[in-house]
Amino acid sequence: MADKVHCAHILVKTMPEAEELFKRISNGENFSNLAKEKSQCPSGKKGGDLGTFGRGQMVREFEKVAFDLEKGQVSKPVKTQFGWHVIKRLG
């Protein structure tokens, strides 16, 4: 089991926005470009890249999904106290 993962995410306010982003990514749109355009997190400027983090560093709902993803996989929308996330595991 990995003790660290490298992820990017796109943060938006509503579930419909997150679902639309997930659909667009699933249809081949570039995750990084969408993060730069749509994410409300400062990481959006870097294509959503959050860098590498270990367990206990992110809110529980986000962490659980991030660690369950395979490298290159994109999550369905995930709700946290910050809003709705679409997460991509980079490594």
Q: So where are the chain's domains? A: 4-89
- Under a CB-based contact definition with an 8 Å cutoff, are residues 72 and 47 in contact? no
Nearest-CA neighbor of 9 among 90, 91, 88, 66? 88
Angle at 81 between CA 77 and CA 84, to 5 degrees: 20
Give which of 3, 32, 16 is closest to 79, Cα–Cα. Answer: 16
Architecture of the 4-89 domain: Roll (3.10)
**Tens-place pLDDT, residues 21-37:** 999 999 999 999 999 99
Per-residue pLDDT tens digits for 29-64:
999 999 999 999 999 999 999 999 999 999 999 999
